[in-house]
Amino acid sequence: MFTHLPSLGVGLGFRQPFKSDLFLNRQQVDFLEVVAEHYLQPSWQQQQELELLASHFPIIPHAINLSLGSAEGVDTDYLRQLAALIKQLNPPWWSEHICFTKAGGVDIGHLSPLPYTKEAVKVLCRNIAEVRRWVDVPLILENITYMVTLPGAEMTEAQFLAEVVEKADCGLLLDVTNLYINAVNHSYDVQQFMQDLPWERVVQLHFVGGHWHDGILIDSHSQATPPQIWELIDEVVARVGIKGIVLERDENIPEFAQLTAELQQAREIGRRHGRWG
């Protein structure tokens, strides 16, 4: 279904602290993912930075504040800026999260989970239809982590993800770290979860390590990827023709050699399963 999309390979979520090291080691990074919000109203320096990155790497815009789950609809001013950025970069796809970040005109400042209900599916599909009036580049949607399970669920999380991407005709950005963290914190079976995923729609993966706090695994993007998540990556890459995999490191950023070592490990998994070179 998404087989026409190009295979981008092994990518890195771009962060300012390793900009210089990135260019010194650019042969080890196939593509970059940038946080769209950093470039919606860019300063001259940010615009120059974006153009420099785009001249050396394929760029995937990753949005975090479109709030596709808001019952009040999406912010058209924000959407206009996002559409302009995507048009400038002309990526093969772009991504957002299955969540809401705004309610009643208030910016929550956090990726918040939705109830797993048919009504929430309708809201997401309605908002995504509005987004498509502005952006015709394929959209892939990411699963998030959550601390609380909202009451009133009519389906499981995996069934909800499948319902959304199939009814809205989107791809899936499967964050294997988020999947693992939710399974640990909410005590569910990862294998059972994966049985309900629409594998033909999985386009890209995210991975990184989190940390433990008071018995809860936190999605902090702050640690090296642990063995359990590498095992999940191997299982997923073996199962489906992934187009790209991205390491997201935001905190406690190590020496760049440690990041490239993780990228190399991801590359070797892809090679073993014939996904990328």
Instruction: Give the model's confidence band at 105: pLDDT under 50 very low, under 70 low, under 90 confident, else very high.
Output: confident
The per-residue pLDDT for range 150-185, each reduced to its tens digit, is 889 999 999 999 999 999 999 999 999 999 999 999
Mean pLDDT, rounded, for 20-24: 96
The per-residue pLDDT for range 227-237, each reduced to its tens digit, is 999 999 999 99
End-to-end CA distance of the chain: 22
192 CB-near residues (< 8 Å, 6+ apart): none
Q: Which of 26, 91, 43 is nearest to 63 (CA)?
A: 91
| The two structure tokens encoding residue 59 | 């760029």
Residue 276 has pLDDT above 80, yes or no: no
Residue 1 has pLDDT above 90, yes or no: no
Per-residue pLDDT, 142 = 98
| The two structure tokens encoding residue 180 | 């693992």
Per-residue pLDDT, 230 = 98
Rg (CA), the chain: 18
Q: Which of 195, 204, 124 is nearest to 166 (CA)?
A: 124
Strand 106-112 to strand 100-103: parallel, antiparallel, or no bridges (unpaired)?
antiparallel
The per-residue pLDDT for range 112-134, each reduced to its tens digit, is 999 999 999 999 999 999 999 99
Q: Which of 146, 154, 140 is nearest to 113 (CA)?
A: 146
Residue 223 has pLDDT above 90, yes or no: yes
The per-residue pLDDT for range 54-90, each reduced to its tens digit, is 999 999 999 999 999 999 999 999 999 999 999 999 9
Q: Which of 4, 201, 164, 165 is nearest to 92 (CA)?
A: 4
| The two structure tokens encoding residue 207 | 């991975």
Per-residue pLDDT, 277 = 65
Where do the DSSP E strands lie in the chain? 9-13, 31-35, 59-62, 94-97, 100-103, 106-112, 139-142, 171-175, 202-207, 209-213, 216-223, 244-247
Q: Give the C-alpha separation, 180 to 182, whole Å.
A: 6
Residue 102 has pLDDT above 90, yes or no: yes
Q: 52-71: b or e for each residue (b if 16 or more CB lie within 10 Å)?
A: ebbeebbbbbbbbbbbbbbe
